[in-house]
Structure 1
Amino acid sequence: MAGTGTDTGRFTVGVSRDFLDPDGRNVWGDIRLGELDAAGVDWHYLPRDTDELLAPDIDGLDAVLFAAPAVTARTFEGVTRPPILLARFGVGYDAVDLDACTRHGALVTITPDGARRPVATAALTMLLAVLHNVAAKDRLVRQGRWAEREAWMGLGLTGRRIGLLGLGNTARDLVDLLRPFDTEIIAYDPYCPPETARELGVRLADADTVMAEADAVIVMCVLTEETFHLVDARRLSLMKPSAVLLNVARGPIVDERALIDALRDGRLRGAGLDVFETEPPAPDNPLLTMDHVVLSPHSLAWTDEMSAGNGGSAVRAVLDVASGRLPRFVVNRDVLGHAYLSERLGARAAVASSEDGQQEPAGVHP
């Protein structure tokens, strides 16, 4: 590991350039970067828009706040002074090599507190849109096919059985949003404590049972090796022909080819997808021409609420680290024993203590 340099100066943050349009305007609106200014933190947008962060992007920065770029082993090649923090704007981290970050003493955080309600609301929006055939009915009007409207009777949500693949924070928020509809909720999540499910009024079951019993299955788990193609041809074959499948998580959790086949063959009533195996989908993707499928370009939860929530959460992580504190939503917990991280956080804590006149213990602390 190269020398740590100095942590006695101002804290410096790079913000990934994918937040900006070609004219340099932040298309996400207010992501709370003003809070960095108020705290005296130096920040700037990275000089290039990139799909993968590399040494020229991050070397010498104390933290990076990023959304789209991947963080890989190559990210750290040639870096002399890695950032203490890589703060991801969002909850997914499938494009982040956590092992590489841990080896180089860099914390990785996500923003579940900021994304929780917007994504849950987006899931409910998609569910209602699919059940009510909103996309198909919109096309009937636009294409002068008014007389066909009786062919598109929808399904009411009240009293239906909803299946969740994943019962994390966002899915739990969706459970609350579904309460007025008197739905029965069944979920697959091997990591959810049974007592938590009981408190929510959710019945835990294996994935096959969820697929077979639910009127609507909603994918809300993270993408890992374990969940890749969790929804495959065999599990799709378990679903009722009257059921619908929604994916608001990550595209590769669903075997898209198998889903297309099931929809074509009439083995599913419909689907709603905010995500795809390949993004954007190819122009000849059959999903694009199916009337009983509702699609969104991985942005259904993109609202001012999402911008402020994710941005505020990421900025709080930055400000915590700038003060020598451990941020809340660290995903690579193994990094906490890394000597480089301990030294850098300790130095930041000492700076913060001297600036506010308080005696605060240095080092890694929650």
Structure 2
Amino acid sequence: MDSRPLVVVTDLDQPSLAEEEAVSAAEGFELVRAECRTEEEVISAASGADALIVQYAPITRAVFEALPKLKVVARYGVGVDTVDVDAATEHGVAVCNVPDYGTEDVSDHAIALALSLARGVVGLDRELRTGNYSLAPVQPLHRIAGRVFGVVGLGLIGAATARKARGVGYQTIGFDPLYEAGTTTADGTEVVTFDELIRRADVVSLHVPLNAHTRHLINADVLEAMKPGAVLVNTCRGGVVDTEALVDALRSGGIRAAGLDVFEQEPLPKDSALFELPNTVLTPHAAWYSEESQVELKRRTAQNTADVLAGRKPRNIVNPEVLA
């Protein structure tokens, strides 16, 4: 009988577990892969598990109640909105994430979406492929220099996005409840209120976690308050934006365009109205990805798991009180 701690990977959208297996071999735990989409599937696949490594599978209160041996749930990524952290804490289970692995990659992607919309790149490509050389479908386009780039959430990724936006000529403003309006961040972003950012920004780029305070942060009222020529960029979580309200704003011309990497429902349903709108640029939750970030994410998620199982403090933990 294998006496090593059992670690179950509940779900992963990549074929290889090479990084996780390397940590497993070095740290002495058993690694088993499953393909779970529901809490029932997690409970069934992880019977007797000491730890879970999770990507998108829901880790709910029912999961913690059904798996009493659990010591740690480690998530591939920054957000832990798929994990009931309160229930984990009540059951003495550590919840770990990797909050800084994709800072450069996600901020790169946010800038790429913003610039593709600012220069009409995707719209021009679509038209050219049909033989249309006219600029009319994307007019008017404006020079980037002097335009205002608003960053909602000034954490690591938001700050990196603001830095890169300034590098291509944007004036940057930002909102974050942890910063006082009227101040300037250490790297040069003017801090304003949320309402002022929405009113002033030509680009609104979202960099906040998904929680009770941020769900549908971008709703019909906020979209109505944006400039008619503004664009929305979302590389954080789909639920931060009210999709139905966004579709209405894009159809009516309430805002100019949207660049979206994340959606309220993923994969994005084939009948989503977003596909029908010419003023959208859509990517499949890809902002996190580079070869470098992928390796780092997988290795660090497995190492966080190993550290908790070995009685060590992990590099990243959301609820450190459980280890006190």
TM-score by length of 1: 0.80
Q: CA RMSD in A?
A: 2.5
The answer as to whether partners of 1:118 and 1:301 remain within 8 angstroms in 2 is: yes
Partner residue in 2 for 1:91: 78
Partner residue in 1 for 2:23: 35
Partner residue in 2 for 1:250: 237
Deviation at 1:305, TM superposition (A): 2.5
Query: Aligned letter for 2:4?
Result: R
Q: Which moved more, 1:168-177 or 1:57-66?
A: 57-66
Partners of 1:261 and 1:227 in 2: CA distance: 20
1:12 alignment partner, one of 6, 17, 21: 6
Instruction: Write the deviation string for residues 55-81 of structure 1: whole angstroms up to 9, x where unpaired.
Output: 333343332221111100111233242
Deviation at 1:268, TM superposition (A): 1.2
Partners of 2:163 and 2:206 in 1: CA distance: 17
Relative distance call for 1:166 and 1:300 in structure 2 (3 A) is same
Partner residue in 1 for 2:159: 172
The answer as to whether partners of 1:102 and 1:332 remain within 8 angstroms in 2 is: yes
Partner residue in 2 for 1:286: 273
The answer as to whether partners of 2:166 and 2:172 remain within 8 angstroms in 1 is: no
1:213 alignment partner, one of 200, 205, 209: 200
Instruction: Write the deviation string for residues 110-130 of structure 1: whole angstroms up to 9, x where unpaired.
Output: 111212222111111111122
Partner residue in 1 for 2:209: 222
Query: Aligned letter for 1:172?
Result: A
The answer as to whether partners of 2:260 and 2:281 remain within 8 angstroms in 1 is: yes
Partners of 1:139 and 1:175 in 2: CA distance: 29
The answer as to whether partners of 1:13 and 1:65 remain within 8 angstroms in 2 is: yes
Relative distance call for 1:17 and 1:242 in structure 2 (3 A) is closer
Partner residue in 1 for 2:295: 308
- 1:68 lines up with 2:56 in the alignment: yes
Partners of 1:36 and 1:17 in 2: CA distance: 17
Partner residue in 2 for 1:267: 254
Partner residue in 1 for 2:134: 148
The answer as to whether partners of 2:149 and 2:173 remain within 8 angstroms in 1 is: yes
1:184 alignment partner, one of 165, 168, 171: 171
Partner residue in 2 for 1:345: none
Partners of 2:172 and 2:319 in 1: CA distance: 31
Partners of 1:213 and 1:195 in 2: CA distance: 15
Query: Aligned letter for 1:16?
Result: T
Query: Aligned letter for 1:247?
Result: N
Relative distance call for 1:254 and 1:336 in structure 2 (3 A) is same
Q: Which moved more, 1:243-252 or 1:34-43?
A: 34-43
The answer as to whether partners of 1:85 and 1:321 remain within 8 angstroms in 2 is: yes
Query: Aligned letter for 2:229?
Result: S
Deviation at 1:42, TM superposition (A): 2.5
Deviation at 1:235, TM superposition (A): 1.3
1:54 alignment partner, one of 32, 38, 42: 42
Instruction: Write the deviation string for residues 64-104 of structure 1: whole angstroms up to 9, x where unpaired.
Output: 2211111001112332422x111100111111111111111
Partners of 1:31 and 1:177 in 2: CA distance: 31
Partners of 1:196 and 1:327 in 2: CA distance: 34
1:201 alignment partner, one of 169, 188, 193: 188
| Mapping 1:333-352, distance limit 5 Å | 333-337=320-324
Query: Aligned letter for 2:43?
Result: A
Partners of 1:304 and 1:294 in 2: CA distance: 23
SS at structure 1 position matched to 2:174: strand
TM-score by length of 2: 0.89
5+ unaligned residues in a row in structure 2: which ranges? none
SS at structure 2 position matched to 1:316: helix
5+ unaligned residues in a row in structure 1: which ranges? 1-7, 338-366
Deviation at 1:32, TM superposition (A): 4.9
SS at structure 2 position matched to 1:119: helix
Partners of 1:72 and 1:80 in 2: CA distance: 13
The answer as to whether partners of 2:182 and 2:191 remain within 8 angstroms in 1 is: no
Partners of 2:273 and 2:89 in 1: CA distance: 41
Deviation at 1:244, TM superposition (A): 0.6
- 1:129 lines up with 2:126 in the alignment: no
Q: Which moved more, 1:48-57 or 1:192-201?
A: 192-201
